[in-house]
């Protein structure tokens, strides 16, 4: 019988989790990936939320993880008027896809975020997937990206109803989620060689990431 366990990440897990993350994202959104570097740097960043970093194990093997960081909401002058948290990268290695592990990990972390008193989560991803967890476009709350646009792939979930009442503004994700690409090549050299390829999923992602939210909420 398969044993599935979710627990907090430990220091001794770091290298394994980085490898798992790399395997999960390789060639998915771009040729290669940078998500393993993101989590490597995030652990030492001021926006990191260690109490919401979890790994998921199948029969004692780490097969996925989820990381959280702080996100700010700014007014037109750049003044911070609110806060939320963001999960990502969230990953499951490809051979364990379609087992519901990603959903288990996300639901578990959302429940823990509520227990810790966090009020809202803002993420980027595919609406068709994240709507099942209660996420909706941030346009509903008057929360745009810093370019002033509302994108269908930028979504929010109020953990406390009414959190975003009277808090419209611009979303500023942590700078830790945008690593220096010059650092990536050196960091990636520590891992086994993988071939970078152009895939259909990359075109799909590029299209989804640029799609404006035209819904009426």
> pLDDT tens for residues 91-147?
999 999 999 999 999 999 999 999 999 999 999 999 999 999 999 999 999 999 999
Neighbours of 149 (CB within 10 A): 12
Q: Beta 120-124 vs 154-158: how paired, if at all?
A: antiparallel
pLDDT score at 166: 86
pTM, whole model, 2 decimals? 0.95
The span from the CA of 183 to the CA of 34, in Å, is 10
The span from the CA of 215 to the CA of 217, in Å, is 6
**Sequence-ordered list of residues with C-beta below 8 angstroms from that of 16, at least 6 positions apart, any chain:** 62
pLDDT score at 206: 92
Q: Quick check: helix, strand or coil at residue 195?
A: coil
Low-confidence ranges of the chain (pLDDT < 70): none
Neighbours of 134 (CB within 10 A): 13
Q: Provide the token pair at 30.
A: 């771009």
The span from the CA of 185 to the CA of 189, in Å, is 6
Residues 169, 73 contacting (CB under 8 angstroms): yes
Q: Quick check: helix, strand or coil at residue 169?
A: strand
The tally of CA atoms less than 13 A away on the side-chain side of residue 121 is 28
Q: CA dihedral defined by 124, 71, 159, 57, rounded to 10 degrees?
A: 60
pLDDT score at 1: 76
């Amino acid at each position: 019988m398969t044993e599935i366990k979710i627990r907090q990440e430990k220091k001794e897990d770091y290298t394994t989790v980085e490898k798992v993350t790399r395997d999960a994202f390789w060639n998915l959104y771009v040729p290669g990936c940078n998500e393993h570097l993101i989590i490597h740097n995030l652990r030492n960043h001021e926006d990191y939320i260690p109490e919401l970093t979890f790994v998921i194990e199948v029969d004692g093997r780490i097969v996925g993880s989820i990381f959280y960081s702080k996100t700010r909401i700014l007014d037109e002058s750049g003044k911070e008027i609110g806060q939320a948290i963001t999960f990502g990268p969230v990953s499951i290695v490809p051979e364990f896809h379609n087992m519901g592990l990603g959903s288990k990990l996300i639901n578990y972390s959302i429940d823990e975020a509520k227990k810790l008193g966090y009020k809202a989560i803002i993420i980027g991803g595919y609406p068709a997937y994240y709507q099942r967890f209660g996420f909706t476009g941030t346009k509903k709350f008057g929360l745009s990206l810093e370019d002033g646009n509302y994108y269908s792939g930028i979504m929010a979930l109020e953990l406390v109803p009414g959190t975003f009442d009277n808090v419209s503004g611009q979303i500023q994700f942590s700078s830790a989620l945008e690593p220096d690409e010059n650092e990536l090549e050196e960091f990636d050299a520590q891992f086994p060689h993988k071939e970078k390829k152009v895939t259909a999923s990359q075109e799909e992602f590029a299209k989804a990431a640029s799609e404006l939210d035209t819904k009426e909420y």
